[in-house]
Each structure stands twice: as C-alpha cells, then as structure tokens.
Structure 1
Amino acid sequence: MALVIAGERSGVGKTTVTLTLLAYLRRRDRLVQSFKVGPDYIDPMFHQHVTGRACRNLDPVLTSEAYIQQCFAHHSQLSEYALVEGVMGLFDGVSHTLREGVRVASRREAPTSFVKDKGLMTNDKGLMTDFASTAHIARLLDLPVVLVIDCSRLSGSVAAIAHGYRSFDPRIKIAGVVLNRVGSDRHLSLLKDSLEPLQLPILGVLRRQDNIAIPDRHLGLVPTAELPELNTLIDRLADLGDTCFDWQRLLPLLKSKPLPSSPSSPPSPSSPSSPVKIAVARDRAFNFYYQDNLDLLQQLGAELVFWSPLEDPDIPEDIQGMYFGGGFPEVFAQQLAKNTSVRDAVKMAILRGMPTIAECGGLMYLCEQIIDFEGKSWSMAGVLPTSAVMGGRLTLGYRRAVALQNNLLVKANTTVYGHEFHRSHLTLTPTQPLFETSRYDCDENMGYEGWGLPANVHASYVHLHWGESVEIPQQFLKECLKVASLMALIIQY
C-alpha cells in the first residue's frame, strides 16, 4: 500500500502537504520513496532534498502503464513508506483515443482491463478524458487517495466538493481529506460540521501559514539549489507535521508493500564491453533530468561525470559524450557567458564530433546567444546558428514527434512522445529539423522542431523520458563508443 496526495485543482497546496508528510517521516529516520505524477522536474527535486532518495516520475504519456507499474513496484518495495504526489486536479488529464473499445497506449496496446464497457471515463468522441491524471495513476496502482482542499474561501461548500470528488468515479478510493489554509478555530468548526454527514475522515488540518512559502518564477518553483534557507523551511514543515495530521490513520496507508500482481521488472539491458564516460551538466543552470534516464545510461555501461558549465574552467577530461539537460540558463546567462573557456571547449568538442544531447535549456546554451527578459544579449556556446529569446508566452504541453531524418538518438520516421515547457523561442528555425511535432491529445500540428546539425548533436525543446525507449540511450552510447574507438586509435598512433 501507499498513498496518493491529490488536489481538487492546481494551487491547493499538494506540494506543501506532500513535503510536510515527507519531512515528518524523515525526521524520524524512516525510509520514504516518493513519486510524482506527470513530467515535472522541480517538485521531485524538493522530494529528493527531503528524503535523500531520487523521486520517480509516473507519466503514461512519456512511458506506458506497464512501465509505471514496474517502476512503482520496484522502487516502493525498497522503502518503508511510499507517497505519490499528484498533478493538477485529481481528474485533470489529457484526452486519449480509444480504438475498438480499448485504449491505445503511447507505444502499445493498453491492458485489457481498461475498456469502455467497464466504465472507463470517455466522452462522446470515444476519448478517455482523464488519461495521465492523478486519478488514472491511482486506479492503475490501486492506491487510496487523500484529497487536499483549499478552504481559504470555503465553509459549507467544502462538503459538496468532497462529496463530488468521492462519487465522481467510484473506482477511486478517497481515504480522507486534508483541509488546507484554514483561517481560525471557528472556520475549522464550520468545515467539520459540513463534512460530518459524509463520514469522510479528516486526515489533516493546515492553518494559513505566513512563514512557509516556496518562492516561484516563470516556470514554477525556484529549484532547491537556489534556496539557501531551504533546510530551515523543511524543519518548519516537519514541525507542522507533528501537529497537523492524524498519523494513526495515515501511517498504515503510507506503509509500502509490493503490488499484489505487479508486472515483473524488465531485464537489465546489456552493457558495452568498454566503459563510456558521459559529461552530464548539472548545476543551478542545468538540473532538469529524469532520474530514470540517468539510471539507464549507467545500466548500459556509461560512467556519468557531473560537472558545472557555470563554475568549472573546462569540460571533464577523457569523455566520449555530453548531456545538457533543461533548467534555467536564462537566469544565469551572464555567468555562463563569462565562462568563455568552457563555452569554447564545448563548441570545439562538438565541432570535433563529440555526441551531444541538449534538451530545452541545453539547446539554449548551444545557441549563439540568450536574450533575457530585459532584452540583454549574452553569448553562449555558438554551436547552433540561432539565438534563444525569452518572452512572456508559455509553450507547454505533451508532444507527438516524428523524426524527419536519422539523427543521434532515433531513426527517421520514428515516433517519440515528449513534453515542452519553456518561455523562450529561437530567432531562426533549423533548415533540416529533427521532428515534425503535434499536440498529443489532438491532431493540431505544432510545426518543425529540433537541431541535428552538426550530425553529432541532438538539440530540442522536447524533453524525453527513455523508460520505454531503451533504444534511445543505446543509440547515443553507440555513437559515443565510436568516439572512444577513434580516440584510442589516435593515442595508439
């Protein structure tokens, strides 16, 4: 068993409640494994900071239902307690096409249990309307849900909300509610009186907190590495956890047990005969990585060398590949620009054939310039003949991307599924783009995207999770091995 923390909508305090629960358990030296529904990078950073264990993303768009079950079963059984933080509101997902009564997963047929005649939530167009939602994950893993309700502007209406969420989908087991942002004892009394006829347990009550706030900016919360007072905040949350929750009811729900019929884990992919060293940029500017991607690289035989384009004077020695994840290079553009020795080294390595993955923020770093929100220009690596310009428009959503050519990661005509989340755009589009993209939940064409020139570069705004696509890191390491072999020949002669 484990527990899902869901919200009745976005912004109700799911992350605060989740971190409070995690902080309470870790203060008592409990082993806790956390999970996050959706493609989010930043919330998992906070989870990991509290638990000391990498948070795992559960996203059936980027992976598959089977992968989610395998991932959850494997990682939850290695801890005492397991907790899943949801995304948006409980039933907020994306539309997903049903074919002949069976949902078609992102790369394969769905489990036969998810069929229309068994009550799957669909509309009159035959679309599953809560695919990839918190509710979808709760059903998939057969986990109870705690519903977080923002009570700051509610009294008696809280009962209608709780009743609606509990009855909307009878397959969802609502274990209880957490009342957040309660204003006073009188306010709490009104809420309790309203909920009492429902006989729905109140598992926690959090008052309005003026001294507990995580700062945010244009893409969500400020990452953990930029918050020097974070440990103080976590201590406050742990203190809050001492008094605000019904632990007698919560602890049995959180206790981790293997799924009763969880799918077996896939066999570990074979490793190459010789090690491959991959330089992974990880600092305040570049820190958006799915832990599963990094794990796959290591399972395939790669040695990951973490380094900082902000602080280090040069790229790591004796590497055969580079990986630049997303992040906030625009926030640190001035510092990145000043580190000319690293910018030059990155450009030289790529021009000499170094296989390089650059996702979103990494793509921006490979551009000629980043133009920040104030219109100031900062020189970057200069590999791609374009500039990244920050703006107010948010590009957000799942993408279906079809490869237009053979490239560093995938072969032509391969379809991959990813996620975009950025406020920048490029001044020039590539003449030979990597992908033709469309929205995941409809046929709306999103245009052409991604840079594959030089041929050893994969630079794209689309974030990919490799959990169901082991061939992607395999292809990357295959190209890196070619570099290793070439280097060996050069040394030999």
Structure 2
Amino acid sequence: MNSKKQAFMVSAMKSGSGKTLITLGLINIFKRMGKSISIYKTGPDYIDTMYHEKIAGSPSTNLDPYFLEPAFKPGELKRLFFRNFKNDIAIIEGAMGLFDGIYGEGKRCSACSVSEELFVDVIMIVDMDELDNLSTYLQSFKHRVKAVIVNKVEENADINMIRLKVNEMGLFLIGYLHFDTNFYIESRHLGLYEPQKSIFDIVNNVSDKLSKTLDFTTLENFCVKEPNDTDIYNDKNIHNADLNIKQNRYRLAFAFDEAFSFTYEENIKVLEEYGFEIVKFSPIHDKVLPDNISVLWLSGGYPELYAKELSSNISMLKSIYNKNIPIIAECGGFIYLHDFFEDGVGNKYPGVGLIKGKAFKTKKLVRFGYIEIEAGSESILMKKEQRIRSHEFHYYDSTCNGEYAHAIKANKSKEWDCINASNNIFAGFPHLYLRGYEFLIQNLVSFLERERDV
C-alpha cells in the first residue's frame, strides 16, 4: 500500500461562495474524463450530499469532525475516510468557512481540522470581490491551503493580474469561473433546497466553463498518502462476531420519501453490519408499514412541507400508531409522531399521536448546533449515563420535547433536556449518528433479543 492517491478539499472563507456548485462541477469534469470519484462532506450536512450523489451517481460520506473528533474517537475520522476511498479521486467539500467550527473555540471541528487530520490539501473558492481579503483570512490559523479557484470573474478581467495576486500569497491559481447569473442554486435556512432536475443543466454549464480554465497538471499533484494500517480498509465490523448476529435477522422499516430524506449513509451501513435488512417505505405514498418488520426508523426531513399529504394518509398513521415495535424518530420523524404538527405557515394537522403534544413553527433556529447527550435511564438505544454526540437543526419546537436525556452544547454555553424514551419509543429533535457509536445498535439488538425470548 503506502502509495499516493489524488485527493483534495474544496473550501471557502464563508458560506455562499459557490463551494457546492464548483464541487459539483469538478465531480462532473472528472466523470467526463472517465475517473471514479469518492465524495465527502465535512459536518452534519444532509442536502449537499444529495447533490453530490445526484451528479456522481454514488453516495457521499459525511466526515463530521465533532462526532469523530480525534480527542474523542481517535483514528475514527481517518478510518472512515480511507474505508470509503475506493476510487481514483477523493473530493471533500468543506462545510461553511474553512475555519468555522464550534463557536468560541477557534478552528475546532472545522473543515480545516478535517484537512489536517487527513493530511489533505485545500483549494479555496473565493469570489473576485473578496480576493484581497484572502491573505488576511488565512493568517487566522495554521492551514493546508495550497490553491485558489476564483469565482464570479468579470469577462474582461485581467487573469494575469489575478494570478499574480494569488501567487503573492504563496498559492496557485488553479482555475476561475466567469460571473453568470445562471450559476445559482436556491437555498433555504442555512442550506440548499433539495436537488431538482434543473441541477444537471446548471452543473453541465459550470463544468463546460470551468474545464477551460482548470490547471489539471497542478491539480494532479494534490495527493494523500495512504496509511499502512490495513485494518482501515477492513469492512468487517468486529462487533458482529461478538454478538453472533446473523445477516438479515431483523427487518427495519426506514422512512424515505419527499418528507423524510435526511440520513447519513454511514447509518445505513452500520445497521446492515449488525444484521438489519433495510426496507425503505414512504409515509406519504404507502398505505401501511412493510410486512414482518421488527423496527421502525423515522428519519429527519421536511414533514411540514407535506403536512396535508402525511395527515390525510390515515391508514399509515394508524399502522404506525398500532405497531408495537421499537420506533426511532429524529427531528422531522419526531414532529410527525405528535398528536398535531404545524405546516410552514402555521396550519395544524393531525400526526401519528404517539407523542402527546404539538410540534409548532417558530421564527428562528431552536437549540441549534452540536451537542453531547447523556441518558438518564435505560431505553431501546441507550443505557443510563451513556453519552453520544449529536446535533439539532430546526425551526420547530414541541410542547413535549422529552426529559429522558440531558443535552449540553459543545461549547458548554447552553443545556436542556430532550428525547422521549418510554417502552419502545426513542424520539426527539437530536439527529443520530451511528458510526463510532455502535453501542446504540448493540443496545437495540439486545432489546430485540430480550423481546424475542419473552
């Protein structure tokens, strides 16, 4: 092993600089060249990874620097990166700005921290009118920035002068993209809308323009050295042997449609490693739950956008309400389980009815950010005093947030109680990440085994 493979990170000084669009353009350019690409996104992003998958035709992996922080889970982030790096090129899109991480704690858990952990160099996307600020920005912290792609360049701009400015910073100008009002992807909150069909036309256009300016020779020098530790490439989960789990021993119904689409690809992998057969279904379109299931998982998403459709599917509401099996619900799934939930303009609709209360729209982000959760007692997923890292990102609140666990923000600035966990339910606003927290699924399997033996 011990060879070098092509890899780089795409980052910027802030959100809204065109990172995602140019990342998609690069993916598309390499696909046209016949290259296979492994794609990643730093942070807890769900939607950008959907865009990656649309263009690449293969899943994108979240490299979250908080869930797998080296001081907390040594080696896990690097292991995840290389286990999923099975192609010619790895492209990592950084979240927000290069140094944006946990508020008040420098570059901790930022895209920069991921590049340093993986020894991957960074290409910065910089708008033309912000290029003069880049040098000062990069003086903030140590970094691995090596090159720049300048965005929104005027047609009559002097490229040699731009290159000179970049070179004076000790960086390479590796490409540029002329200003075009058609190069725009609509966003909501702090992220993009879910990808539409028009994205292919936009990305093809960007790829055509960007490929004419890219310095492919310099780009080929962006490499990462593979570790000698062959265990990093071993997909066999060591816990499976310990638990003597048979493949497909349990069927797990996983909500996945227009209303519920936020999940980590690694979550599906972990569940399958522990012997679960994943059966995707639609709370909007299907009339009842799939047959012979042992677990129900309601992922995050935008149920408020489909409140009428979800609420009018009465047979599905009843099917979930009457199903006495473990139910795990994150954020959007949690909203759906309420007696009532509001749509985006405040209209109230009946939900499943397993959470006694109402989920309602607010005017700002509620309890936003990375958190650490400690369980107060035993449940289907956690034992008393077990801890996991998680995050919340929602404009909704609930009259019944739950008191099963206690959450503390990563920078220790706030804390609150969360999660409803009684009998067979584990539901709340926090999103769950399973890689590195396999004990959650070990606990679930143990619960199912006990129920089977009763």
Same fold (TM over 0.5): yes
SS of the residue corresponding to residue 272 of structure 2 reads helix
Do the aligned partners of 1:70 and 1:262 also contact (CA within 8 Å) in 2? Answer: no
> In the alignment, is residue 82 of structure 1 matched against residue 53 of structure 2?
no
Question: Residue by residue, what CA displacement relative to the aligned partner does 1:370-411 show, whole Å, maximum 9, x if unpaired?
Answer: 112322111111111011101211121001111111111101
Give the deviation of 1:234 after TM superposition.
3.0
Do the aligned partners of 2:21 and 2:203 also contact (CA within 8 Å) in 1? Answer: no
Please list, as runs of the form range in 1=range in 2, the aligned pairs for 1:407-418 lying within 5 A after superposition.
407-418=379-390
In 2, Cα distance between equivalents of 1:262 and 1:165: 38
Task: Look up the match of 1:113.
Answer: none
Which of 187, 208, 223 aligns to 1:239? It is 208
Give the deviation of 1:188 after TM superposition.
4.6
Per the normalisation by structure 2, the TM-score is: 0.90
Task: Look up the match of 2:42.
Answer: 37
In 2, Cα distance between equivalents of 1:234 and 1:452: 44
The residue type equivalent to 1:331 in the other structure is L
Give the root-mean-square deviation of aligned CA atoms. 2.2
Task: Look up the match of 2:294.
Answer: 320
The residue type equivalent to 2:77 in the other structure is I
Do the aligned partners of 1:82 and 1:256 also contact (CA within 8 Å) in 2? Answer: no
Per the normalisation by structure 1, the TM-score is: 0.84
Do the aligned partners of 1:402 and 1:415 also contact (CA within 8 Å) in 2? Answer: yes
**Gaps (5+ residues) in structure 1?**
96-126, 487-493
Task: Look up the match of 2:57.
Answer: 52
The residue type equivalent to 1:414 in the other structure is Q
**Structure 1, 305-314 or 365-374: larger mean CA deviation:** 365-374
Question: Residue by residue, what CA displacement relative to the aligned partner does 1:423-456 show, whole Å, maximum 9, x if unpaired?
Answer: 00012343xx2211111112x3422111113x10
The residue type equivalent to 1:69 in the other structure is K
Do the aligned partners of 2:341 and 2:358 also contact (CA within 8 Å) in 1? Answer: yes
Task: Look up the match of 1:434.
Answer: 404
Task: Look up the match of 1:479.
Answer: 447
- Residues 1:439 and 1:187: Cα distance change in structure 2 (over 3 Å): farther
> In the alignment, is residue 459 of structure 1 matched against residue 427 of structure 2?
yes
- Residues 1:229 and 1:195: Cα distance change in structure 2 (over 3 Å): closer
Question: Residue by residue, what CA displacement relative to the aligned partner does 1:325-372 show, whole Å, maximum 9, x if unpaired?
Answer: 1000011111111111111101110xx2x1011000010011111112
SS of the residue corresponding to residue 50 of structure 1 reads helix
Do the aligned partners of 1:401 and 1:416 also contact (CA within 8 Å) in 2? Answer: yes
> In the alignment, is residue 148 of structure 1 matched against residue 125 of structure 2?
yes
Task: Look up the match of 2:14.
Answer: 9
Which of 300, 309, 312 aligns to 1:335? It is 309
Which of 226, 230, 241 aligns to 2:199? It is 230
In 1, Cα distance between equivalents of 2:229 and 2:452: 43
Please list, as runs of the form range in 1=range in 2, the aligned pairs for 1:269-418 lying within 5 A after superposition.
269-270=239-240, 272-273=245-246, 275-349=249-323, 352=324, 354-395=325-366, 396-418=368-390
**Gaps (5+ residues) in structure 2?**
none
In 2, Cα distance between equivalents of 1:369 and 1:28: 51
Give the deviation of 1:184 after TM superposition.
3.0
Do the aligned partners of 1:141 and 1:259 also contact (CA within 8 Å) in 2? Answer: no
Do the aligned partners of 2:112 and 2:144 also contact (CA within 8 Å) in 1? Answer: no
In 2, Cα distance between equivalents of 1:313 and 1:234: 37
Do the aligned partners of 2:124 and 2:145 also contact (CA within 8 Å) in 1? Answer: yes
Identity of aligned residues (%): 25
Task: Look up the match of 1:130.
Answer: 107
Do the aligned partners of 1:276 and 1:481 also contact (CA within 8 Å) in 2? Answer: no
Question: Residue by residue, what CA displacement relative to the aligned partner does 1:193-237 show, whole Å, maximum 9, x if unpaired?
Answer: 43343352111101222112222223521113xx13233233223
- Residues 1:484 and 1:283: Cα distance change in structure 2 (over 3 Å): farther
Do the aligned partners of 1:23 and 1:237 also contact (CA within 8 Å) in 2? Answer: no
Task: Look up the match of 1:73.
Answer: 82
In 1, Cα distance between equivalents of 2:190 and 2:308: 19
The residue type equivalent to 2:156 in the other structure is D
SS of the residue corresponding to residue 140 of structure 1 reads helix
The residue type equivalent to 1:284 in the other structure is E
